[in-house]
Amino acid sequence: MEDDAELFYRQLPKVELHAHLNGSVSVATMERLIARKPHLNIDHSMTAILKGQRRTLDECFQVFKVIHQLIDTEEDLLMVTKSVIREFAEDGVRYLELRSTPRADSKTGLTKRRYVESIIEAIRQCKEENVDTEVRFLVAVDRRNGAEVAMETVKLAEDYMLASDGLVVGVDLSGDPNVGHGKDFLPALQKARNCGLKLALHMSEVPSQKEESELLLTLPPDRIGHGTFLHPEVGGSQSLVDRVREKNIPLELCLTSNVKGQTVGSYQKHHFPYWYQLGHPCVLCTDDKGVFSTSLSMEYQLAAATFGLSREAVWTLSQQAIGCSFATDAVRQQLQQRWALLLPEVFPTSSCLHREPTALQTCGQGL
C-alpha cells in the first residue's frame, strides 16, 4: 500500500534532465531482453546495483558493457526506449531528456544512424500513443572513443537536430572520466555549440579533473553533469565555483548514482546542499534508474529526507528545473502552465493554492 509520502512524490510533476538510456532499463524490461538472448548467459545481478550494494566507478562501467550486449538491434532499441519513456511517465516525469551514445554492431547490421533513428522513432510512437511525457534526445559523445569519433558523433547530432522536428536538442559528453582529457573534445564540442546544439557535459566526476573542468568551462556548457568535485571543500576551487555561478550553469545532481558509484561517501555528504544553499540552479536526476535501482520520485524523497526540504521547497525545485531544460521557450511555457494546473492536485488543502504561478525561469548560458 502506497503511503502518503510515496504518493506525494509520485504525483509531483517532475523534470528529468540526466538519464542515460541504457542505464535506465528496468528489471521488467531487462527480463525481456535476457529471455531474447539466453546464449549470453546473463542474469540480473550483472545488470543492476541493488539496494545496499555499491560498486566502484570502474565496476559501474562494466555493468554497462553487459547491458550493451543485450541491446544490439533496432528492435531492442525501439522496445527499450519506449519502455523507459513509459516508466518515467508512470513515475510522474512530465518532461524527459534521454541521452545515449550511437553504437554500431556489424553482427546485427545496426548502424549509428539507425541507432539514433530508432530512438527518435520510439519517442514519436510514444507521442502518438499519448504517453504523458514530453521527450527530447541528447546524442552522447563517449570520451573513451576519442576525438575523431567525437567529431563524427557531433555531425550525426547536427544532422538529426535538423531532421527530427526538434527532438534532438543537444550533445552530452560522458563515459569513463579517467579516460582521455577534455581538451581533446573541445573542437567537437565547439562545433556542436556553433551549429545550435546545447551542451550537457559530465564534469569533475573524479578529483583529478580540476584542470579539465577549467578548460571545459571556457566553452561554456549549458549544463553540468554531477560536478562532484567542483567546490573547494572536496578538492575543487573557489574559482571554479565562481565561474559556474557567474555563468549560472545548472547542475544535474544524481544522489543515488554518486553514492552507489562511490564518488560520494554518503547521502549526507553529497554536494547538493552546497549548491542549493547558494541558490544555484540544481536539478535532481536519476542518471541510470535501472542500474542504480531508483526512480526520480525516490531521488526527490531522498533529498527531502536527507536535507530537510519541505514539500513546498520540493515543488519549487521541480518547477525551476523546467527553466534548465533544453526545450524551446514555447514548450517551457507549456510546462509552466501544466505545473500551475497540477498544483491543486498535489497540494489539495494547502495555502500554496493561492500563490501566483512561478514566472518562467531560465538557467544557463544562452538558454
Residues 133 and 357: their CA atoms lie apart, in Å, by 21
For 316, the grid coordinates are 519549487
Amino acid occupying residue 168: V
Considering 117, 134, 158, 205, which one is annotated as catalytic?
205
- Asked about 59 being catalytic, the answer comes back as no
Cell 573547494 locates to 232
- The SS3 of residue 15 is strand
Q: What does the alpha-carbon distance between residue 224 and residue 344 come to, in Å, rounded to a whole number? A: 33
114 contact partners, CB below 8 Å, separation of at least 6: 74
Instruction: Cell 536519476: give the residue.
Output: 286
Q: What angle do CA 70, 71, 76 make, to 5 degrees?
A: 120
Place of cell 523534470: 15
Q: Distance between CA atoms of 16 and 132, rounded to whole angstroms?
A: 14
Alpha-carbon separation of residue 250 from 191, 325, 362, 363 (angstroms): 22, 9, 10, 6
Phi-psi region of 224 (alpha: psi -120 to 50; beta: other; left: phi over 0): beta
Task: Write the CB contacts of 78 (distance below 8 Å, at least 6 apart in sequence).
Answer: 118, 121, 122, 125
How buried is 28 (Cβ within 10 angstroms: 0-12 exposed, 13-18 middle, 19+ buried)? exposed
Catalytic residue ranges: 205
